[in-house]
Structure 1
Amino acid sequence: MSRSADSGPSPTSVTADDLGLAVRLAVTVLREAPPAAWEGKAGSLEWDCWETVEHLSDDLFAYAAQLGPSTPPLDGEVPFVWESRRPGGPANAIHADRAAGPAGLLQVLEASGALLVAMVRTTPSQTRAHHAFGVSDPEGFAAMGIVETLVHTHDLAQGLGLAWHPPADLCARVLARLFPDAPDSTEPWPTLLWATGRAELPGRARLASWRWDGRPRT
């Protein structure tokens, strides 16, 4: 399958550049964490901060891999082996070398993000590939990668004692792409946290379960 870029995106599209920005912002913030903090829990997750970055890296890698075959699978995942390093830990294909320390861990995150950026940038928009929440397109996988990056960096910031406030316009675009039923009268970042079960909104309780809608919009 030819991998050529399509015509330019609309102002409301989610793009490879958006994904690249999300990953860069996340890595910049996470570099501020003290080395000893990485063993602590990541927010409300059951994983520690190191494992959560591995999970995020694995998400980005897996989305890139799903778009990679000349005929992407529509009924299942590309069959890498995903496995946990401990009971209750995330089941990943991607694991960082602990000997490389936090700097190496963040290189793994950057590299995984770059793989998905490249695949989104070069995969034709009409391509479809499997996701557990439904078949999606390159823009959908970009939006999924951004949501994973933004909300897991929120989890990590809680565990590492960092401030994290991603751009409102980026949050608004991924909300429109993946959570079309989310309220549009509230600020985008708190709304994204609400839509992913991490916060309350005025008059809206924290969600006990949630999922996005990655179906292509065209």
Structure 2
Amino acid sequence: MITTDAPTPGPVTPDDLAAVLRLALRTLRAAPAGADWSRPAGGVAWDCWSTVEHLADDLLAYAAQLGPEEPPRDRYVPFATRRPFPGGPRNFVLAERDGGPGALLQVLEASGGLMVAAARARTPDVRAFHPWGLADPAGFVAMSLVETLVHLHDVAGGLGLPWDPPADVCRRTLARLFPDVAPHPGAGPWPTLLWATGRAALPGRPRRTEWRWYAAVREPGAGA
């Protein structure tokens, strides 16, 4: 892991996630009435509709991990999932397509709201499974933020919408989940988060072809 002498940013919070979700929904609702949600979502392999479904699925899955009185520590809560099309995301959340983008965004809003509520309801000592580390509620908030921030980047690119999330939230999300990523001297936290998730190059840092985050809680005083 990379360490620096810079002070560690504060933790991410459920309020951060609630604010980013409001910004995400406001951005997507600004898409023109005739926007084609079947267009590719930026540089990912899925279309815009399926990418938003995937985001809603992630958020509800993270809420579910925190939901049981004794959260699972060795697997995801075992919902049945399916792929809506070959090569598509494996989801248990799907939006009613006859309802159009309004229905899709209501599904996203509901899933995100449940994740915010779950994170607010659990105490910091709770731990639950994620394949990239046993996480606390703040870790699941940070993972929800990464999913929302970068998939909105993907979908906004596909729909031609602006997306410029708050730098402070990006900075604290990077600090929680990407301890291997040092701040870039010529780029802010948002471009650095895009680089960390394989979506962009930075000066002196070629685009990543493999990446991961670190969900496990790092105890105070422990080395990174």
**TM-score of Structure 1 vs Structure 2, range by shorter chain:** over 0.9
**TM-score, with length taken from structure 2:** 0.91
Conserved 8 A contact 2:126-2:136: yes
Secondary structure at the aligned position of 1:24 is classed as helix
Unaligned runs of 5+ in 2: 1-7, 220-224
Conserved 8 A contact 2:9-2:175: no
User: Identity percentage over the alignment?
Assistant: 59
Q: RMSD of the TM alignment (CA)? A: 1.2
Q: Write out aligned runs for 1:155-166 (5 A).
A: 155-166=154-165
Query: How far off is 1:11 after superposition?
Result: 6.9
Confirm or deny that 1:36 pairs with 2:35.
Answer: yes
Conserved 8 A contact 2:9-2:172: no
The residue that corresponds to 1:55 in the other structure is 54
Distance 1:157 1:112, change over 3 A: same
Distance in structure 2 (CA, Å) of the matches to 1:177 and 1:28: 26
Distance in structure 2 (CA, Å) of the matches to 1:81 and 1:33: 32
Distance in structure 1 (CA, Å) of the matches to 2:21 and 2:212: 22
The residue that corresponds to 1:131 in the other structure is 130
Distance in structure 1 (CA, Å) of the matches to 2:119 and 2:81: 23
Q: Please list the CA deviations of residues 133-160 of structure 1 after superposition, one character each: whole Å capped at 9, or x if unmatched.
A: 1111100000000010000000001100
The residue that corresponds to 1:5 in the other structure is none
Q: Which runs of 4+ in 1 moved over 4 A?
A: none
Query: How far off is 1:44 after superposition?
Result: 1.1
Residue 213 of structure 1 aligns with an amino acid whose one-letter code is Y
Residue 216 of structure 2 aligns with an amino acid whose one-letter code is R
The residue that corresponds to 2:3 in the other structure is none
Query: How far off is 1:99 after superposition?
Result: 1.0
Q: Write out aligned runs for 1:32-181 (5 A).
A: 32-34=30-32, 35-181=34-180
The residue that corresponds to 1:4 in the other structure is none
Distance in structure 1 (CA, Å) of the matches to 2:169 and 2:144: 12
**TM-score, with length taken from structure 1:** 0.93
